[in-house]
Structure formats: C-alpha cells, structure tokens
Chain A
C-alpha cells in the first residue's frame, strides 16, 4: 500500500540536542511538507519542498532544518535553537507541479523534552 511513513512515533530530546524526524513516502509525489501541530492552533507549516534538492521556509522555520536529497525522503531536524520543540510533527506529500492538490499525511511524530 502506498503511503507516508513517519518515524519514530515518539521522540524525546535533551537540552542542547539536535534530533531528526524521518519522513518517507512511496506515493511518487513531488511535493513534501512538514507541519507542527499544537493544541488549539491547528497545523502550521515549517518547511516545504516542491522538488528534489529544493525547499522553502514555511511560516515557522526558525530552529528547524530540512534536506531533500531523494524524492521519497524529507527528514526534519529540530535543532537546539528551537526553544519550544514539544509538539506533534506531521509530514505530508502531494502530487505537486500544479497548485492545490490534496495533501496526504503521515501519522506523525510526537516530540517531547526530557
């Protein structure tokens, strides 16, 4: 079955530590996205990538970094510069190429501070 796989499901970060969240898709989608979800605030866009080797900042990119070396993979690193990283992180993908195609989401990674 095609879909988006996020790992790990739960992640704990120590102070001053960088952590990387994995997102893999086998939908052959060009576009991929990272969102942060906090209670009562909906989903906010961190980074997005319309094509391999290219990505753009979303609305809350500070303290995060990404790479897009392969079409299937879009890992997100939460750096020590992100002072409030506790949240539910969601990865999504869409066909891309044209705007406003449905976005398909993974089941998220919940990040907490130790």
Chain B
C-alpha cells in the first residue's frame, strides 16, 4: 500500500511535443505529490508539487494533473525541449512526511 507506480520507464519525444508521465498510488492517506527532475550525476531537484485539494497545477511548461478518485497523477511537459532530457520521479507522502518515490522515467527529447 506504500508503493507509487510510475510509467513509462522511458520516453522519447520530439522537440516541441508533449511529454506525459503517469503515477498511481494506493495509500489514500497520501496528501502531498511532488515531481523531481534529475540530471546525470546530480541530485533530484523539486520541479512542481500538488496537494489533493486541487485537480491541476501549472508552472510554466510543467503541469500536474491529479485524479483523486482514480488515485493517479501525471506530469505534462508542454513544448518539450532537449534541455528537458532527464530522469523524472514522482513521489507521494502522508502524515509521516516520508516520501515514497516512483521508479523514475528517463525522458529523451530529440531535436
């Protein structure tokens, strides 16, 4: 019940396209859902986060969509750029504050 399942494992998108990464969770006590971006040899950096009282949050080209009833949330990267090529992790946490991470998605944006 503590798992967060992330898909796809890898994704190739053309420059200017939309990248979509999906995550599903089981624990209904989760109430914080961040997305992290990680470049090779670096630590993850917080990209955007959402709480379940809203269904969508947008920051620049990055949007989180949240479906509480389906226990799913997704990251959409609009107008994807080669500089967006990285590994993306979704995560979830509840009242323990402990983040449970998805397995990661490696995104490649082709010029």
Contacts and interface: CB of A to CB of B under 8 A. Distances in A.
Contact of A106 (B9, B36, B43): B43
B101 A42 contact: yes
B101 A99 contact: no
A48 B98 contact: yes
Contacts of B42: 107-108
Contacts of A43: 44, 89, 99, 101
- The interface residues of chain B, by DSSP majority, are classed as loop
Interface in B48-103: 49, 51, 89, 93-99, 101-103
Contacts of A2: none
Give the interface size bracket for A toward B.
20 to 34
Interface residues of B, number: 26
Contacts of B51: 100
A58 B43 contact: no
A21 interface: no
B21 to A, nearest CB: 13
Interface of A: 4, 6, 31, 40-45, 48, 50, 58, 90, 92, 94, 99-108
Interface of B: 6, 9, 31-32, 34, 36, 41-46, 49, 51, 89, 93-99, 101-104
Given A100-B97, A102-B34, A108-B42, 16 more contacts: A4-B43, A40-B103, A42-B103, A43-B89, A43-B99, A43-B101, A44-B101, A48-B98, A50-B97, A90-B43, A100-B51, A102-B46, A103-B99, A105-B44, A107-B42, A108-B43
